[in-house]
Structure 1
């Protein structure tokens, strides 16, 4: 992606901000600056930028289990905050996360927030500072700020060092450039971040959908399909054996959406609203696969070929929820025996399941206690 040209600014150096990036901090720091500048702010404290970084990383770490980098302080801080404050949900509103960070008096969290400011505020602009090399960077923060403030045409400069209350001042011409070209800059930044995260998480699908807060998913077609089936036969969900009704039915991703980042029909199963909420983005124990096969074959596959109206509703789902012609043929062609169907479904879902487990998605089993607390 090419950034818009400017006669006044050195866009070549801007385009090199993320060259040779081995840690995630630069992406989150610059993303926070861009967000604040777009809001119209040009004087920003370390603390408000760090809080923005943590809130932006929250969903990637807690909801999606993404690896942000080797020995990553930001990732570890997010886990620490979640451990100390379990009431903060994986899908928590960004404003609630920032409010907590502003008001916390937890000394460990505050100390680790400060740690995030030791290098990235200074190193980010290194492409602009051609005269600083090697040991020039290995000095105290006060001296480093003094040296950087003598450089010309940087994106931002520093006030006197005062811990998390230290202020950076984004220069007017750069602020105008960011505001004028905000959509392109955001797209460029997301592209660079996706490239980095894909390298750090080579086996994780749907990275592009995991750099933003979770969005509401459209599963009404699949729910309508299963509600039709409920008018023809009784259906028990697979986790707790609860009888499904038109009022309590909910659609669950067997392998969590937070890992697969898609709504493919072979991974969607009916359960109750309460159990779906209790399971959340956890990975169910593999023993449930037997019940999954039984339900999918007896209550879905067989009825597709038994009732025309079920087949018609299934075909409506296919357009949005089966994106592979190969999988549709293998799993939904007429005439499969129970053993053949089980084999095909296992060959599709087991590699995805194993990969999710390797990425840290926890093993979950149903309990009435979890259901009541959900």
Structure 2
């Protein structure tokens, strides 16, 4: 076998290494200088590829855990990017009343937070389709808990649909929406289905529910508490 490997390396293709003639634990491993240099020159890319393949395997085998890549290398909360989303909702509030999902009162400009419907600690992202304006005083009370799906999802979807209408009807809102794309809209389904022009309200609600409810249910199964608001 050792001779065969050597012949392949010399006559067919240069292999990364060949084996010596000693036996068992004394067997030598000879690395080819050309391969050593290539690996040294491309270490970052190779390690990145290994990490990528590892994450793919883990995600495929853990479909109920979203955002695994972020959980393997947790993102500092200070690095979260909600500023542009806040500006987007500021722009919407200048044009229309927005009803708070939890208080049923109009959101007050400059006294609201942008928060996640499904907790950030579970999804580990700041995707626009999971974000909502809410009363600042309630944000800490909600913390890492899930809102009750009924009735709060429909209220949440109403505000999302208001956002959707605004980004297609008002040019300055559309520009604010575009500024969010890099940091807050990575889900393919959201870009290609949810926020595409031409959805009816019923279609919009259906797309949002179809994609959010499995994530919500997964969080419930993994022990996230319901916020009894």
Relative to the length of structure 1, the TM-score reads 0.43
2-side partners of 1:215 and 1:253: how far apart?
A: 13
Alignment map for 1:1-374 (pairs within 5 Å)? 203-210=64-71, 215-216=77-78, 217-287=80-150, 288-297=152-161, 299-366=162-229
Deviation at 1:322, TM superposition (A): 1.0
2-side partners of 1:304 and 1:200: how far apart?
A: 37
Stretches of structure 2 that go unaligned for 5 or more consecutive residues are 1-50
Q: Is the 8 A contact 2:147 2:228 kept in 1?
A: yes
CA deviations 1:263-321 (Å, max 9, x no partner) are: 11111111121111110110110011111111111x21111121110111111112221
**How many residues were matched structurally?**
176
2-side partners of 1:304 and 1:269: how far apart?
A: 15
1-side partners of 2:221 and 2:171: how far apart?
A: 41
1-side partners of 2:175 and 2:59: how far apart?
A: 39
3-state secondary structure, aligned to 1:225: helix
Deviation at 1:324, TM superposition (A): 3.0
Q: Is the 8 A contact 2:64 2:215 kept in 1?
A: no
2-side partners of 1:215 and 1:248: how far apart?
A: 21
1-side partners of 2:146 and 2:217: how far apart?
A: 10
Over the residues paired in the alignment, what is the CA RMSD in angstroms?
2.8
3-state secondary structure, aligned to 1:251: strand
Instruction: Call closer, same or farther: CA 1:198–1:341 in 2, change over 3 Å.
Output: closer
3-state secondary structure, aligned to 2:70: helix
Deviation at 1:200, TM superposition (A): 10
Stretches of structure 1 that go unaligned for 5 or more consecutive residues are 1-189, 367-374
Deviation at 1:365, TM superposition (A): 3.0
1-side partners of 2:148 and 2:172: how far apart?
A: 34
2-side partners of 1:249 and 1:286: how far apart?
A: 22
3-state secondary structure, aligned to 1:296: helix
Instruction: Call closer, same or farther: CA 1:300–1:199 in 2, change over 3 Å.
Output: closer
Q: Is the 8 A contact 1:242 1:272 kept in 2?
A: no
